[in-house]
Amino acid sequence: MQIRLTVLRPRTGAGLPAPATDVLVTAPVGTALGAVSVALAGAVGVRGPRSATHVHLYAGSRRIDDRTPLGHPPLLDGAVLALGEPDPEADSAPAAHPGDDTVELRVVGGPDAGGVHRLHGRQVRLGRSSEADVPLDDPDVSRLHLALHLSADGEVTVHDLGSTNGTALDGRPVGAEPQPLPEGALLRLGESTVALAAAPPAEQTRPTTPDGLGHLQVSAPPRPGRPPAPATAEPEPAAASTTGRARSLLSRRLGRAEGARTPATPSADAARQHLRARVRQATAQRERWPDAATLLLNALGPGPRLWERVPAHPDALTLRLGTADRPGGPGTTPGTVLPAVPVTVDLQAAGGLGLVGPPERLHALARALVAQLAALHPPSGLSLVVVSADEQVPLEERTARWAWSLWLPHLRPGLGQDCRLLVGLDRPQAEERLAELLALAEHPADGAAPPATVLLVDGDLGSQRAREALARLLRMGPASGVFTLCLAERPGQLPAGLGATATVTGEVATLLTVERPTADGERERIEDVTLDAVSAPWAERLARALAPLREAVPTARGPLPDALRLLDLLELDTVTPAKLSARWEDLPSTTGTAAALLGTTRDDLCTVDLAGPDPARHQHLLIGGARGAGKSELLRTLVASLAVGERPDRLQVLLVGGRDAALAGCAELPHVTAQLDAAADPRRAHLTAESLLEELAHREELFAGRGFTAWYAEQVLTAHTAAAPLERPTGRLGRPRGEQLPAAPGATMTGTSMTGASVATVTAPPAAALPARLVVVVDDYDALLAPTSPAGRPLARALAAAAQRGGPLGVHLVASTGRPELSAGSELDEAALWRIALRTDHPGDSELLVHVDDAAALPEQTPGRGYLRRPDGAVLAFQTARVSGRIPRTATLRPTVVAIDPAQQGAPPTRRPVRELGNGPTDLALLASALQRAAERP
């Protein structure tokens, strides 16, 4: 396990910020904080204490117990630990505890947006000065600009403190006389907009589950769709505006809205309707394009809107740049203006966006945009790449500027990029990032569309090579899947090919002029947009809130992972007999299952269900692929996964191995009744073939025309009814513990005839138990079919019979073939409704297997990648999860704490010579041992 933490050194003087160091902690799962606390103190230069008991670490204002395991809350990725004293910043943290009744003041727009302030006390002053209770970094705001009063009964009033530029409440000027400030009303001071809101209710917080590895799994985002427009009160008509600079500021927003608010409508009713439509539209637009404060609250919660913009979302990749007075839509009087509604740019339409202006303001705007992308789009649907390699700016400054973004989970490389994070903070890193993006856009890994990436380029790229790569990406446009945000001081410094621009204007650089494409292919220019900008500490707070969050489903779109661990997918990182038997306990008692989790598709987990959904149809699986494509590993993954999913008395596995004893590792699973090497032991092959045929005949007789599922359910029901009056504790099938179900004559095949003397592990079901579902797994099926395989021929005939008659009887075949042309036309080929093509040598092989030729284009470097054809005809690309790997190296190493150099995060990481332990147990061995013990539990 690896987590990134920040350690704060005790302050050296009052008012001075605590010096901070970011560290990478590498430790086995379950390591307690105490094991690394001395090293954490050492990382910030505090040496001396030899024992953990002398090192006190705090998360916020709370001391952390030394026994807290690393990777569990609060020791999650991105956490800040204060050494020796509570975190001095902890009290100023906004809204970490939703659900109480307090009122919040949110800064919803302007050059210092995003703030969320809990209102405490009777009077709260807002202003530019540090003396203000809510300081705002807005040049148009006076030092002490306005005051809010909170009465004991919860009423809030506002009055201006004699500010230079005035205050406006929903368009009406506010003077020295206190006016009620209702929730949701927009209060304007300078270029900033603030609003009162109730703290979000606790039930709006999305559930999270710690994974023990430093992350919190967040449940899937809501389905794509737009949030409904909330009901709002009608505003009062606006009054006249004020004088001087105040007039110039307010009239820009209010004057035009003013004029529009006196429509010549035929009746008062119609006027009211138009006014209602205007309010509804403005509110709906503000909801749809959330402000920075809403984003922060959703990251901290995490709230319902976190990562809502999955790729299919109608607003995916559309950025809110600021707010302006914009024309009303249908239902409002012509000429109506919606005040202070978001102005957006759709990156999918524009391809790229150029941002021009003075660096400081530009970076604050860029922070708001990157934070917005990260809070609204899940990392599986969007990756972010930050490149800041302009050699005119010192490396330290570039690094400090973008250090906050390094906490965003969207910067983690997911496609084998040679770096720790997707950043380019010097020339070689920038060249590498651009080359990677170009390669991905021009040669997508497996023929699929490249994943969406937003590339932020801050200033010049530092080299001709990188500039050329960017120019090629921009020429490709949205088809490249890369959407670029370019920052420049002057328009002439922007590269060609950006479809939209936003230029910072205004006396104090708080406005934007936006040029963007319209839906009908024209260009549109919008002036006087009050830009949304956020401070660096705000952006870091949001990024740290996102740092530990992970989507509950490992992949939701786009690239398939290069490698996956089955135990991770099964959420069995630490696999114990108790966990396994708990899963079996939860199984339904009527019909056995035969579902195997194989890996992930682009959207979801990849599962094969041999028992459903139509049990009357033959449910077999045929797997084909070239040498080294990953067939044997896929079989092992399938068998391991079947075993986790069903108890050994209800699902049994017969292994028929091919060359290389590829299935040997599975023989230890308690579900495996026999393992046979047909070529090495022709006699047993013969006996096995006979037993299989007998078993089919026996089941046909026993079930008397019914299917396995129906018959099984009936037997369980009968046993359950018979057992009920006994009032004894019942077992998992509903039968009294220790009692047998009614004898099923002949139902002994799995315990006797199919299990031979030379079997590695035999776990027989209780005598006379119900016949279990039987999965016959055959590696190298084509070898059995070959005319040179006399030993295999009887077995091949029995397998053919199982293919034709077995499905409804609960006997399923899973077979792999390296020569699809040999297995083509066989009974199994005819009957298999589930089909997989891993990488094939020829398109024709892929066609034979999954009826599309795509598997021939799969790369050799990613064994286990393939296409699954489901019984409904859908064909999905997937990556097989691995079960024969050894436990990750970090799982057994001594814990280490290493300082992180942010400037090197984009450089190739130092290679470890061995990625897995050479002689530790494989995941399969760990799983088999835990399954055996689970099977022995009463």
Ligand X SMILES: Nc1ncnc2c1ncn2[C@@H]1O[C@H](COP(=O)(O)OP(=O)(O)OP(=O)(O)O)[C@@H](O)[C@H]1O
Is residue 627 part of the contact set for ligand X (CB under 6 A)? yes
Please choose, out of 74-82, 249-257, 487-495, 625-633, the segment that lies near ligand X by the rule CB under 6 A: 625-633
Contacts 24+ apart (CB under 8 A), 265-272: 265/333, 271/333, 272/234
Three-state DSSP class for residue 117: strand
Give Dmax (Cα) for the chain.
104
> Of residues 654-713, which lie at the interface with ligand X (CB under 6 A)?
662
Rg for the chain (alpha carbons), in Å?
33
Please choose, out of 359-367, 429-437, 626-634, 893-901, the segment that lies near ligand X by the rule CB under 6 A: 626-634
Our CB check for ligand X shows the closer of 379 and 863 to be 863
Burial class (CB in 10 A: 0-12, 13-18, 19+), 56: middle
**Structure tokens of 907?**
């450089």
Question: What residues pair up with 355 in beta bridges, in sequence order?
Answer: 487, 502
Taking the CB of residue 515, how many other CB atoms lie within 10 A of it? Answer: 19
DSSP string across 266-318: SSHHHHHHHHHHHHHHHHHHHHHS--HHHHHHHHHTT-TTTT---TTSTTTTE
Is residue 631 part of the contact set for ligand X (CB under 6 A)? yes
Please choose, out of 64-72, 622-630, 745-753, 869-877, the segment that lies near ligand X by the rule CB under 6 A: 622-630
Our CB check for ligand X shows the closer of 634 and 702 to be 634
What H or E segment, with its residue span, contains residue 645? Answer: helix 631-645
CB of 863 to ligand X, least distance (A): 3
Please choose, out of 41-49, 301-309, 446-454, 624-632, the segment that lies near ligand X by the rule CB under 6 A: 624-632
Is residue 303 part of the contact set for ligand X (CB under 6 A)? no
Which of 170, 211, 633, 827 is in the footprint of ligand X by CB under 6 A? 633
Please choose, out of 249-257, 258-266, 628-636, 669-677, the segment that lies near ligand X by the rule CB under 6 A: 628-636
Our CB check for ligand X shows the closer of 625 and 665 to be 625
CB of 841 to ligand X, least distance (A): 11
Which of 630, 670, 765, 807 is in the footprint of ligand X by CB under 6 A? 630
Which residues are CB-contacts of 792 (< 8 A; sequence separation ≥ 6)?
A: 678, 679, 685, 783, 784, 785, 786
Is residue 221 part of the contact set for ligand X (CB under 6 A)? no
**263-301: buried (b, 16+ CB within 10 Å) or exposed (e) per residue?**
beeeeeeebeebbebbbbbbbbbbbbbbbbbbbbbbbbb
CB of 928 to ligand X, least distance (A): 18
Contact status, residue 808 vs residue 618, Cβ threshold 8 Å:
yes
> Of residues 875-914, which lie at the interface with ligand X (CB under 6 A)?
880, 882
Burial class (CB in 10 A: 0-12, 13-18, 19+), 161: middle
Q: Which residue lies nearest ligand X, judged by its C-beta?
A: 864
Our CB check for ligand X shows the closer of 411 and 883 to be 883
> Residues annotated in the binding site for ATP, as ranges?
625-632
Our CB check for ligand X shows the closer of 548 and 625 to be 625
Alpha carbon dihedral 572, 574, 575, 581, in 10-degree steps, equals: -80
Our CB check for ligand X shows the closer of 165 and 880 to be 880
Question: Taking CA 51 as the corner, what is the angle to CA 49 and CA 52, rounded to the nearest 5 degrees?
Answer: 105
CB of 664 to ligand X, least distance (A): 12
CB of 662 to ligand X, least distance (A): 6
Handedness of CA 91, 93, 97, 102 (dihedral sign): positive
Is residue 763 part of the contact set for ligand X (CB under 6 A)? no
**Structure tokens of 268?**
């008062």
CA atoms within 13 A on the CB side of 377: 29
Contacts 24+ apart (CB under 8 A), 921-925: 921/886, 921/887, 922/665, 922/883, 922/884, 922/885, 922/886, 923/565, 923/566, 923/567, 923/882, 923/883, 923/884, 923/885, 923/886, 923/887, 924/636, 924/640, 924/665, 924/666, 924/883, 924/884, 925/665, 925/668
Our CB check for ligand X shows the closer of 379 and 630 to be 630
CA-to-CA dists, residue 412 to 354, 479, 481, angstroms? 25, 23, 17
Which residues are CB-contacts of 564 (< 8 A; sequence separation ≥ 6)?
A: 554, 599, 600, 879, 880, 881, 882
Is residue 416 part of the contact set for ligand X (CB under 6 A)? no
Cis before 613? omega within 30: yes
CB of 23 to ligand X, least distance (A): 31
> Residues annotated in the binding site, as ranges?
625-632
CB of 857 to ligand X, least distance (A): 17
Please choose, out of 88-96, 303-311, 471-479, 631-639, the segment that lies near ligand X by the rule CB under 6 A: 631-639
Binding mask 847-876 for ligand X (x = CB under 6 A): ----------------xx------------
Our CB check for ligand X shows the closer of 487 and 887 to be 887
CB of 862 to ligand X, least distance (A): 8
Our CB check for ligand X shows the closer of 301 and 818 to be 818
* Helical H segments across 763-890, by residue range: 781-785, 792-805, 820-823, 827-831, 843-850
- SS3 readout for 823-843: HCCCHHHHHCCEEEEECCCCH
Phi, then psi, of 586 in degrees rounded to 5: -80, -5
Alpha-carbon distance 637 to 868, whole Å? 15
CB of 634 to ligand X, least distance (A): 7
Our CB check for ligand X shows the closer of 924 and 930 to be 924
> Of residues 810-839, which lie at the interface with ligand X (CB under 6 A)?
818
Alpha-carbon distance 386 to 572, whole Å? 35
Alpha-carbon distance 249 to 140, whole Å? 9
Contact status, residue 639 vs residue 777, Cβ threshold 8 Å:
yes
Residues contacting ligand X: total by CB under 6 A: 15
CB of 636 to ligand X, least distance (A): 8
Our CB check for ligand X shows the closer of 311 and 599 to be 599
**Structure tokens of 34?**
């105490």
CB of 628 to ligand X, least distance (A): 4
Which of 546, 629, 759, 791 is in the footprint of ligand X by CB under 6 A? 629
Closest alpha carbon to 530 in 101, 63, 804, 193: 193
Our CB check for ligand X shows the closer of 534 and 638 to be 638
Is residue 625 part of the contact set for ligand X (CB under 6 A)? yes
Which residues are CB-contacts of 268 (< 8 A; sequence separation ≥ 6)?
A: none
CB of 789 to ligand X, least distance (A): 17
Our CB check for ligand X shows the closer of 322 and 863 to be 863
Closest alpha carbon to 192 in 340, 51, 54, 329: 340
CB of 222 to ligand X, least distance (A): 32
Which of 208, 632, 826, 840 is in the footprint of ligand X by CB under 6 A? 632
CB of 883 to ligand X, least distance (A): 9
CB of 640 to ligand X, least distance (A): 12
Which of 90, 349, 439, 563 is in the footprint of ligand X by CB under 6 A? 563
Please choose, out of 367-375, 403-411, 629-637, 761-769, the segment that lies near ligand X by the rule CB under 6 A: 629-637
Our CB check for ligand X shows the closer of 792 and 806 to be 792
Our CB check for ligand X shows the closer of 195 and 783 to be 783
| Contact set with ligand X (CB under 6 A) | 563, 625, 627-633, 662, 818, 863-864, 880, 882
